[in-house]
Each structure stands twice: as structure tokens, then as C-alpha cells.
A = this chain, B = another copy of it.
């Protein structure tokens, strides 16, 4: 039983919790939520989408897309328009406000990456990413083999600082 492995797992969740909270607060200042911001992000990459497409890209139900677009449309981030050929479908397009927000967020994402990782040696960063990739592979492998219930209590200390042991 390696204690450093447990510490590493705790660290990942501490990081996720802190970054997630930070991001959420920054979004809230703009009147956005994570889920809605992601819609803007996706629409900024592949302009104008039908809701069905969005539900596939976002990996959520079509029903939830309806709700997200309802909210985004109400606040003027996107507009709904009829599909030119398919009268069942609805096209979702970013407004100017939505486009500006998406571009700003994309820029700030890269800026944040520089702030957080920018002053680290390239080798350290490469090592970090290599370990992360290793773990990502392990997750995929252990979840697909049908052996056991998986890491049920993996991340109890969701609020940074937890018990590092």
C-alpha cells in the first residue's frame, strides 16, 4: 500500500475542486454558468448548430439542450432560428454578445494556463502530463474490465485541503 499514490489522488481532486470553483466564480461574474458557458464554447468552435448536434457534442439529453438554449436565449447569448430545409430542427447561433464572450473566455483559458503552468520547466510539465495520461489510461482500463465496483470513495475531500494522511 503506497501512501504517495493516495496523496496523488487527493491532489488531483484538490486541484479539480479549486480550479472548478475558481472558474465557476469567474463565470458567475459574467452572468454565466459552467454548463451554459460550454455551449458558447462549442458554438464558437463550430458555428451554428442544430440542437440535436449540440446534445451529441455535449453528451447530454436533447431535453437538457432545450433548457440550456432557453436560458442562453433569454439572456441574449444565442438566438434560435428555423432550419432552412428541415422544419423540425432549430438552428442555434451565437449573438455578437455570445461570440464576444466565447472569444474572451477562450483567451482567458489560455491566459490561466500560462499563469498556472507557465513558469514551470518544460520537462516538469511533460512529466506531469505523462502521469496524467497514464492515469487516464488506467481509468479506461479498470472501468471496462467489469471487475469490481470501481473507486467508490475515491474523492471524498471535494473541498480542498482534505485529509492528506
Residues of chain A having any CB pair with chain B under 8 Å? 1-2, 4-9, 11-16, 18-20, 22-23, 25-27, 29-30, 32, 34, 37-38, 41-42, 45, 58-59, 102, 104-118, 120, 122, 124-136, 138-140, 142-143, 149-156, 158-160, 163
CB distance A6 to B129 under 8 Å?
A: no
Known contacts A15-B12, A19-B12, A26-B150: does B135 contact A116 (CB below 8 Å)?
yes
CB distance A105 to B58 under 8 Å?
A: no
Closest residue of chain B to A155 (Cβ to Cβ) is B23
Q: State the Cβ distance, A131 to closest chain B Cβ, in Å.
A: 4
Copies in the complex: 2
Q: State the Cβ distance, A48 to closest chain B Cβ, in Å.
A: 18
**Could you tell me the distance between the alpha carbons of A135 and B75 in the complex, rounded to whole angstroms?**
34
Contacts of A20 in B (CB 8 A): 16, 155
CB distance A151 to B23 under 8 Å?
A: yes
CB distance B156 to A112 under 8 Å?
A: no
Closest residue of chain B to A108 (Cβ to Cβ) is B152
Contacts of A152 in B (CB 8 A): 23, 26-27, 29-30, 32, 37, 104-105, 108-109
**Could you tell me the distance between the alpha carbons of A160 and B136 in the complex, rounded to whole angstroms?**
9
